[in-house]
């Protein structure tokens, strides 16, 4: 499926879905991260906690995605990248991402996006420079792809809250998991 038609699919999926104001999501996420910073007092631990929560979200969210997105099955990891960027990002966050910076072995790509609804009203104090504020997204990607038999590593490498001009998540395919045998329904 072409990238243009995937974009249309993403737009249509977002159009159909129930929506809430992005402010509500951003403020809720922001207040929660602030509490995590107080509870853990350590950037690495906060990053890990956010990734873990994201993973828990991802393994559930994938069902919602498969049921409502009309996305075609992925024939390749490159397809997966485009579907995550054009359909899933758009459907859940209202903004698409771009795919780029493929590694030569075609197992690693970057998801790049400038508008980040999670970080809409956020400034990160210098003290918390080690925090990847939106790290929950890495967990979501990892959790969701694992449910469709792809074990990946996902990590932020750039974030606008760190003064960079865009957000970038590197996603690496570690292995394709064996499909679980179908459950016997008798």
User: What letters, b where the CB count within 10 A reaches 16 and e where it falls short, cover 98-119?
Assistant: bbeeeeeeeebbbbbbeebbbb
The interface mask with other proteins, positions 145-184, x = CB under 8 A, is: ----------------------------------------
**Residues contacting residue 92 through CB under 8 Å, at least 6 positions apart:** 61, 65
Residue with the two structure tokens 């394709």: 176
Listed ranges 10-18, 124-132, 161-169, 176-184: which one lies at the site for other proteins (CB under 8 A): 10-18
Listed ranges 56-64, 122-130, 156-164, 178-186: which one lies at the site for other proteins (CB under 8 A): 56-64
Structure tokens at 117: 């609804």
Residue with the two structure tokens 């570690």: 174
Cβ proximity to other proteins: between 143 and 156 the closer is 143
Listed ranges 17-25, 72-80, 151-159, 164-172: which one lies at the site for other proteins (CB under 8 A): 17-25
**Residues contacting residue 136 through CB under 8 Å, at least 6 positions apart:** 29, 50, 51, 53, 54, 57, 118
Q: How many CB atoms lie within 10 A of CB 67?
A: 8
Task: Kindly state whether residue 93 participates in binding other proteins, applying the rule CB under 8 A.
Answer: yes
Residue with the two structure tokens 């990946």: 152
With CB under 8 A as the contact rule, the residue among 3, 39, 106, 176 that binds other proteins is 39
| Residues at the contact surface with other proteins, assessed by CB under 8 A | 14, 17-25, 27-29, 31-32, 34-35, 39, 49, 53, 56-57, 60-61, 64, 91-96, 98, 114-115, 117, 120-121, 136
């Amino acid at each position: 499926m072409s990238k243009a038609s995937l974009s249309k699919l993403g737009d249509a999926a977002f159009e159909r879905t129930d929506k809430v104001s992005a402010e509500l999501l951003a403020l809720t996420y922001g207040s929660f991260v602030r509490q995590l910073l107080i509870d853990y007092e350590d950037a690495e631990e906060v990053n890990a906690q956010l990734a873990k929560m994201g993973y828990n979200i991802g393994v559930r969210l994938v069902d919602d995605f498969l049921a409502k997105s009309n996305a075609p099955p992925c024939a390749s990891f490159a397809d997966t990248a485009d579907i995550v960027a054009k359909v899933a990002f758009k459907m859940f966050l209202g903004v698409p991402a771009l795919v780029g910076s493929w590694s030569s072995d075609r197992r690693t790509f970057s998801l790049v996006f400038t508008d980040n609804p999670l970080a809409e009203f956020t400034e990160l104090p210098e003290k918390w420079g080690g925090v990847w504020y939106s790290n929950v997204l890495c967990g979501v990607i990892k959790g969701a792809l694992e449910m469709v038999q792809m074990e990946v590593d996902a990590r932020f490498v750039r974030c606008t809250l760190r003064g960079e001009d865009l957000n970038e998540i590197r996603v690496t395919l570690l292995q394709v998991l064996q499909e679980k045998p179908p459950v016997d329904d008798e």
